[in-house]
Amino acid sequence: MSDSVRIAIVGSGPAGLSAAARAAQLGLSHVLLEKTDHLSDTIYKYQKGKHVMATPSQLILRSDCDFDAGKREAILETWNRQAAELGVTVAYQAEVKAITGSAGAFTITTTKGQTFVAEAVIMAIGTQGNPNLLRCPGGDLPHIQYQLDDPGEYVDEHITVIGSGDAGIENALGLAADAAQGNVVTILNRGADFARAKSANVKLLMEAGEQGRIRIMTETSPAEVRPGELVLDTRDGQETIRCDRIIARMGSAAPRKFVESCGIDFTSEDREAFPKLSPVFETTNPGIFVIGALAGYPLIKHCMNQGYDVVEFINGNRDLKPADEPILEAKFAALPGTRSVDEWLELLRARVTILNDLSPLQMREFMLDSEVRAYKAGDVVFERAAPGSSLFAVAEGSALVEVNPTDPSVTVPIEQGSIFGEVGLISGRRRGATVRAGAASIMVEVSRTAALKLMASVPAAKRAVTRISIERQLLQIFGPGLSTDDVAQLMESAEVLSVRAGQPIITEGEDGTDIYVIRVGSMIVEKMVAAKPVFLSYLPAGSYVGEMTLIGGGKRTATVKAAIKSEVIKLDGAAMRALMDRKPALLERARTMMASRQDVNAFIESRKDSFSGAVDMYSETARFLVDNGIGEATDVLLIDENLCVGCDNCEKACADSHEGLSRLDREAGKTYAHLHVPTSCRHCEHPHCMADCPPNAIHRGPDGEVFIDDTCIGCGNCQRNCPYGVIRMDSVPPPKPSLLSWLFLGKGPGPGEPSKKWRYKHAEPGVEKPKKAIKCDMCSGIDGGPACVRACPTGAAIRVAPEDFLSVARLERENG
Amino acid sequence: MATRASSTHTPRAKGETLHDGFLRHAGFRWAKIAGGLSLLLVVSYALIDITPRHNGGSWYGYTLGTIGVGLILWLTALGLRKRAMTTGRWSLKAWTSAHVYLGLSLIVIGTLHTGFQFGWNVHTLAYGLMMLVILSGLYGITVYTVLPRALSSNRSEMTQGQMLDALRAIDRQLHDAAQPLAQEDAALVRMSLDQDPFGGGLWRRLTGNHRDCVTTQAHRELRRATSTRPNLGNDPLEKVDALLDRKEAMLAQLRRHLRLRALLEIWLYVHVPATFALLAALTAHIVSVFFYW
């Protein structure tokens, strides 16, 4: 076949099919090339009976083919029928091998040797053919597969699904759907949340996890694949699980070699980069257009819209605006200047560093989830201690951070292109400083969810955010007197390392002068005394170790290892030394810290001979506390069971201070050496509960408390995500009569949480109060502090920060 | 270097985690105050010359009496303080500490107030009730010091609810395992199943004497039967025997738990009602004193 057509469309997925349908509708000569013997192979290969979703819901579908959420079979049937009705010309079994020629006369060669001639080519081949491979030892074993056709095929197997996207979740759900199949399904997620997946899928997965049908392992990645076994790196160390089959759904990348061989450039060298495209989807090879997943947009609705649009463009309708244009127009309407939507998008993309690598299509999608605002010089962007977890980017002008709360005139500028507010993404703390616009500015506000999605899908954005937050963290840790340039030099030698629980970063007796900054997680310091490890101290995120050998020379004097899965920044010793030589103040601060550390070492050495049960006991107790999650706590309730008489006044006080519901369970929890860790919030450094909160209702208060605000929708995600079981779902009980009327008249249930029976009896008839998530908020806003501690009659209940509690100084004080 | 470099705002001062119980609170502050007060009163009692002799009706006696009434009312207020979760920088531990030591100082204040004049009247009744309250309080201090450790060790990380659940689970298994048994053996198991773990009355609860426990009896009877037979591994009686063994252990743990809880609480059933009786007697004492003035 060598008749020339107006448009050749490669790939008959949602994008290609929609393009072909438009071409047929417009009466353009066209050919749709499909490598298999059926249309839309990606959807065809979905699990049988899969429910296909139609997100994003705010987007209007504009295509000649219909599409709505529904079963895979129904959708395929509709498309097949409509393709036939519209008279789409399809060439099946035509896998494209090469595209040569130039605009007006492209020659397309298939693997079977057929050739097609077309004036323009639309590439809509998607990325499914090129999945990301498992890259760990044993990644080439035969029981690893990158696709799942029919989950009903597998019976009585231990199956591990790797990947936190929709594909992975749907496969896991499919495999576990029928209990009669007897599959033991585990799903692994490298991160803590399922930000990339559709929320409906995440909800189903969480439900399945709760019912025990699927084991969900977050913050876990595969370390080694063995026949019948899988070694995992988890938050708490390595774990080996039985595994007969691995289904890896870790996304896919464009088949880059083939695309590049067609003369198309990519935006960057990144493995997951996308082809460079003009606003009309034209590539760097004029006449070839790229749409769909290959262009960086994997959602069906977008693909179909693009198919429609691109044919309109090729047909000369250059004024056609994308379907989401009105939404974006409204967003940009309030901004100064008269730029078109495309100009705004391009301006933001070019100016804001973290958006640099986005394609115009990704920019559109990104802006749908974000807001952009203009500020006059001096306008407040956000106030210190205000709640908020969104990320801001300076598109024009600059921002001023008021670093000194007492003197607003001391400011640090944030220049155009950079970001601020990124701390909220990591630990959800309140705004640490007031930020004002430095000049007339334009800022993009990215919601936490959109930012997480951006970081998960655009590696370059993730790197940019990580780099900026590391720079700021170093600046904060190494204190005043350092400029961004100084830190930039340190950054050149810096390396971010992920450390498993229990893995040492510094080993006693070894050489080394590198310095480690703890970015995420926490570390414990141990010293070997008489062949036994003695617990020296606990290092929370935000502290650094290793300068003792850097300043004093010699070998490492203690072992530093991760208490929980952590992330450290390794700084080259020589670079640090050079910086210290230039900045005597920094050296001085390090020396002071070193002195206190040497005191502890000296203390341990002096007690070496008299090492008795006391120190062993201390080390054991410290280890027990770290095992119980104190390692990631910022503030935790402990009960000294030498004193606790079991009166439960702590629980009653908690209930009476908080709408009649107790947020702690005194009796439950682990105990070691009469030190009891009750079921109560630890206010983790990196709260697991915050990972997946749809209304973003969980925040960190000014005193470090993690709390849930009134926007809670009662979904229960936080309760499932909390590894310590401290969140309960309950509705607010009816108000109780006063204490005195209980005392003298016997009215009401008395102090503490009312019984279910009383609550039921006194509930407002006909009104069902919603169950919401409740947890300890450290009695924030209550004068006097935590009620549980105030109300303990014997002094058994104490609240501690781990770094205060877990230090040898305590042992010294108690013995001395 | 082992310090947190970033200075996050914490409301807690360093080292505050070093905690004391209510007895040692703030370096025995209230022990010192109460002790000092008692010493002062004893010395002044010896030095001040009241004619014809010390009694409750002298100016000194009235002073002691007023201090005593004030203290008793304030000490009673602990019951309110404990239950009213108001805001503010108060600590129930400090209150308890003051309650204990000032309460003990009432022995001195009250006794000196009497001028060692006792008789069969409402005045001495009030004194006697006060001493009863103080003695029961002394028992409370003792058990609060001695028993929490034992309570904690015995729990071995189980809550009371979990202990009861475990007991119920064993009962369910016993019920199933007893199905193939002969009638008289099944009757023994039924005896154990019908047992109320809370039953037996207060005395039994406090002493921990459960020698006639029906589970123990049933176990002993079954043992007698099984011990003479070889264990072939499929004897339903052996299974029941093992379950009864577990139930006994579980019951023992639960009973120890309940006993300790009871010992920790029982004194309040004397302390609190006696306090109210004291308040009544005290009112009568004061009214009658002023009535006959």
Question: According to the model, what pLDDT value does residue B5 have?
Answer: 33
What residues of chain A lie within 8 A of the CB of B16, using their CB? 804
Q: Would you call B157 an interface residue with chain A, using a CB distance cutoff of 8 Å?
A: yes
Asked if A676 and A804 sit in the same domain, the reply is yes
The torsion angle over the Cα atoms of residues A256, A129, A463 and A267, rounded to 10 degrees, is 30
Domain end among A248, A269, A290: A248
CA distance B6 to chain A (A): 6
Residue of A nearest to B150 (CA): A642
**Is B148 within 8 Å of A657 when comparing Cβ atoms?**
no
Q: What angle do CA B255, B258, B260 make, to 5 degrees?
A: 105
* Average pLDDT for chain B: 86
Q: Determine the residue among A600, A621, A804 to mutate to test chain B binding: the one whose Cβ has the most chain B Cβ atoms within 10 Å.
A: A804
How does pLDDT run across A729-751, given as a tens digit for each residue? 888 888 888 888 888 888 888 88
Question: According to the model, what pLDDT value does residue B68 have?
Answer: 95
**Is A477 within 8 Å of B144 when comparing Cβ atoms?**
no
- Of the candidates B1, B10, B92, which has its C-beta nearest A547's C-beta? B1
Asked if A212 and A356 sit in the same domain, the reply is no
Please give the residue that has the higher pLDDT: either B81 or A633.
Answer: B81
What residues of chain A lie within 8 A of the CB of B21, using their CB? 640, 642-643, 794-796
CA distance B50 to chain A (A): 41
In the predicted structure, residue A451 carries a pLDDT above the cut 60:
yes
- Of the candidates B15, B87, B156, which has its C-beta nearest A782's C-beta? B87
What residues of chain A lie within 8 A of the CB of B264, using their CB? 645-646
Question: According to the model, what pLDDT value does residue B264 have?
Answer: 93
In the predicted structure, residue B2 carries a pLDDT above the cut 50:
no
Tokens representing A275 are: 């082809």
Question: According to the model, what pLDDT value does residue B6 have?
Answer: 33
| Nearest Cα residue to B142 out of B271, B34, B29 | B271
Question: According to the model, what pLDDT value does residue B188 have?
Answer: 86
Residue A436 burial class via C-beta count within 10 angstroms: exposed 0-12, middle 13-18, buried 19 and up: buried
| Residues sharing a CB contact under 8 Å with residue A627, sequence separation 6 or more, in sequence order | none
Q: Mean per-residue pLDDT for A493-511?
A: 86
How does pLDDT run across B222-266, given as a tens digit for each residue? 888 777 777 666 778 888 888 898 999 999 999 999 999 999 999
- Of the candidates B2, B19, B261, which has its C-beta nearest A539's C-beta? B2
Highest mean pLDDT among A517-521, A602-606, A782-786, B65-69: B65-69
Do residues A331 and A371 lie in contact, with contact meaning Cβ atoms separated by under 8 Å? yes
Pairing assessment for the beta strands A515-520 and A544-545 based on DSSP bridges? antiparallel
User: Token match 């013997």: residue?
Assistant: A37
* Average pLDDT for chain A: 83
Which residues 781-800 of chain A have a CB within 8 Å of chain B?
782-785, 787, 789-796, 798-800
**Is B149 within 8 Å of A674 when comparing Cβ atoms?**
yes
Tally A–B CB contacts below 8 A: 165
Question: According to the model, what pLDDT value does residue B39 have?
Answer: 96
Domain end among A282, A307, A323: A323
Which residues 89-128 of chain B have a CB within 8 Å of chain A?
89-93, 95-96
Asked if A35 and A90 sit in the same domain, the reply is yes
CATH code of the domain in which A151 resides: 3.50.50.60
| Nearest Cα residue to B70 out of B98, B106, B33, B115 | B106
Q: Mean per-residue pLDDT for A675-690?
A: 83
In the predicted structure, residue A570 carries a pLDDT above the cut 50:
yes
How does pLDDT run across B141-179, given as a tens digit for each residue? 999 999 999 998 898 888 888 888 888 888 988 888 888
Asked if A305 and A346 sit in the same domain, the reply is no
Q: Determine the residue among A599, A637, A641, A705 to mutate to test chain B binding: the one whose Cβ has the most chain B Cβ atoms within 10 Å.
A: A641
Do residues A401 and A412 lie in contact, with contact meaning Cβ atoms separated by under 8 Å? yes
Residue B184 burial class via C-beta count within 10 angstroms: exposed 0-12, middle 13-18, buried 19 and up: exposed
- Of the candidates A546, A642, A793, which has its C-beta nearest B92's C-beta? A793
The torsion angle over the Cα atoms of residues A692, A697, A700 and A706, rounded to 10 degrees, is -80
Domain assignment present for A37: yes
How does pLDDT run across A249-261, given as a tens digit for each residue? 887 777 888 888 8
What residues of chain B lie within 8 A of the CB of A749, using their CB? none
How sure is the predictor about B180, in pLDDT bands with cuts at 50, 70 and 90?
A: confident
Domain encompassing residue A668: 621-815
Q: DSSP string of B166-198?
A: HHHHHHHHHHHHTTTS-HHHHHHHHHHHT--TT
Which residues 2-41 of chain B have a CB within 8 Å of chain A?
2-6, 8-12, 14-22, 25
Asked if A458 and A531 sit in the same domain, the reply is no
Domain assignment present for A615: no
Domain end among A292, A323, A354: A323
**Is B18 within 8 Å of A810 when comparing Cβ atoms?**
yes
Residue of A nearest to B147 (CA): A645
Asked if A226 and A170 sit in the same domain, the reply is yes
- Of the candidates A543, A702, A784, which has its C-beta nearest B90's C-beta? A784
Give the end-to-end CA distance of chain B in Å, rounded to a whole number.
75
In the predicted structure, residue A610 carries a pLDDT above the cut 60:
no
Residue A432 burial class via C-beta count within 10 angstroms: exposed 0-12, middle 13-18, buried 19 and up: middle
CA distance B3 to chain A (A): 6
What residues of chain A lie within 8 A of the CB of B261, using their CB? 646
Conformational region of residue A482, where left means phi above 0, alpha means psi within -120 to 50, and beta covers everything else: beta
Domain assignment present for A613: no
How sure is the predictor about A429, in pLDDT bands with cuts at 50, 70 and 90?
A: low
Question: According to the model, what pLDDT value does residue B60 have?
Answer: 92
What percent of the residues of chain A are helix, what percent strand, and what percent coil, each to the nearest 5? 35, 25, 45
Please give the residue that has the higher pLDDT: either B128 or A534.
Answer: B128
**Is B95 within 8 Å of A793 when comparing Cβ atoms?**
yes
**Is A640 within 8 Å of B261 when comparing Cβ atoms?**
no
| Nearest Cα residue to A351 out of A340, A363, A337, A365 | A363
In the predicted structure, residue B187 carries a pLDDT above the cut 70:
yes
In the predicted structure, residue B3 carries a pLDDT above the cut 50:
no
How sure is the predictor about A146, in pLDDT bands with cuts at 50, 70 and 90?
A: confident
How sure is the predictor about B293, in pLDDT bands with cuts at 50, 70 and 90?
A: low
Asked if A638 and A782 sit in the same domain, the reply is yes
How sure is the predictor about A57, in pLDDT bands with cuts at 50, 70 and 90?
A: low
Asked if A625 and A584 sit in the same domain, the reply is no
Pairing assessment for the beta strands A515-520 and A504-506 based on DSSP bridges? unpaired
Q: What angle do CA B33, B145, A636 make, to 5 degrees?
A: 95
Residue of B nearest to A475 (CA): B6
Number of folded domains in chain A? 5
Distance CA A735, CA A238 (A): 49
The H-or-E segment that residue A716 falls in is none
Q: Would you call A649 an interface residue with chain B, using a CB distance cutoff of 8 Å?
A: yes
What percent of the residues of chain B are helix, what percent strand, and what percent coil, each to the nearest 5? 70, 0, 30
Percent of chain A with pLDDT over 70: 93
Question: According to the model, what pLDDT value does residue B231 have?
Answer: 67
| Nearest Cα residue to A790 out of B11, B82, B92 | B92
**Is A593 within 8 Å of B25 when comparing Cβ atoms?**
no
CA distance B81 to chain A (A): 9
Asked if A594 and A629 sit in the same domain, the reply is no
Question: According to the model, what pLDDT value does residue B98 have?
Answer: 96
Highest mean pLDDT among A193-202, A408-417, A696-705: A408-417
**Is B264 within 8 Å of A544 when comparing Cβ atoms?**
no
Question: According to the model, what pLDDT value does residue A276 have?
Answer: 84
> How far are the Cα atoms of A415, A569, A711, A813 from residue A454, in angstroms, in the given order?
21, 23, 24, 50
**Is A646 within 8 Å of B264 when comparing Cβ atoms?**
yes
CA distance A752 to chain B (A): 9
- Of the candidates B6, B147, B261, which has its C-beta nearest A542's C-beta? B6
Q: Mean per-residue pLDDT for A335-363?
A: 84
Question: According to the model, what pLDDT value does residue A748 have?
Answer: 84
Asked if A215 and A267 sit in the same domain, the reply is no
Instruction: Please state, as a whole number, how many other Cβ atoms lie within 10 Å of the Cβ of residue A429.
Output: 18
What residues of chain B lie within 8 A of the CB of A640, using their CB? 19, 21
What residues of chain B lie within 8 A of the CB of A750, using their CB? 83
Question: According to the model, what pLDDT value does residue A46 have?
Answer: 77
What residues of chain B lie within 8 A of the CB of A676, using their CB? 152
Domain assignment present for A482: no
SS3 assignment, position B136: helix
Q: Mean per-residue pLDDT for A337-361?
A: 84
In the predicted structure, residue A615 carries a pLDDT above the cut 70:
no
Question: According to the model, what pLDDT value does residue B282 have?
Answer: 95
Q: Mean per-residue pLDDT for A285-314?
A: 87
Domain assignment present for A225: yes
Domain assignment present for A135: no
**Is A784 within 8 Å of B89 when comparing Cβ atoms?**
yes
Question: According to the model, what pLDDT value does residue A769 have?
Answer: 78
Amino acid in position A380 = V
Amino acid in position A11 = G
Amino acid in position A131 = P
Residue of A nearest to B160 (CA): A667
How does pLDDT run across A533-558, given as a tens digit for each residue? 777 777 877 788 888 888 878 888 88
**Is A543 within 8 Å of B4 when comparing Cβ atoms?**
yes
Question: According to the model, what pLDDT value does residue B144 have?
Answer: 94
Q: Would you call A545 an interface residue with chain B, using a CB distance cutoff of 8 Å?
A: yes
Asked if A425 and A542 sit in the same domain, the reply is no
Domain assignment present for A616: no
In the predicted structure, residue A512 carries a pLDDT above the cut 70:
yes
Contacts 24+ apart (CB under 8 A), A596-604: A596/B1, A596/B2, A596/B3, A597/A548, A597/B1, A597/B2, A598/A548, A600/A536, A600/A537, A600/A807, A600/A808, A600/A809, A600/B2, A601/A527, A601/A536, A601/A557, A601/A558, A603/A808, A603/A812, A604/A527, A604/A529, A604/A534, A604/A536, A604/A808
CATH code of the domain in which A493 resides: 2.60.120.10
Asked if A626 and A685 sit in the same domain, the reply is yes
Domain assignment present for A274: yes
| Residues sharing a CB contact under 8 Å with residue A149, sequence separation 6 or more, in sequence order | A45, A47, A48
Distance CA A123, CA A16 (A): 8
In the predicted structure, residue B73 carries a pLDDT above the cut 90:
yes
| Residues sharing a CB contact under 8 Å with residue A207, sequence separation 6 or more, in sequence order | none
**Is A751 within 8 Å of B19 when comparing Cβ atoms?**
no
Question: According to the model, what pLDDT value does residue B9 have?
Answer: 34
CA distance A367 to chain B (A): 34
**Is B3 within 8 Å of A543 when comparing Cβ atoms?**
yes
How does pLDDT run across B10-63, given as a tens digit for each residue? 333 333 445 788 998 888 999 999 999 999 999 999 999 888 888 888 999 999
In the predicted structure, residue B287 carries a pLDDT above the cut 90:
yes
How sure is the predictor about A806, in pLDDT bands with cuts at 50, 70 and 90?
A: low
How sure is the predictor about B121, in pLDDT bands with cuts at 50, 70 and 90?
A: very high
What residues of chain B lie within 8 A of the CB of A784, using their CB? 87-90
- Of the candidates A674, A750, A792, which has its C-beta nearest B93's C-beta? A792
How sure is the predictor about B280, in pLDDT bands with cuts at 50, 70 and 90?
A: very high
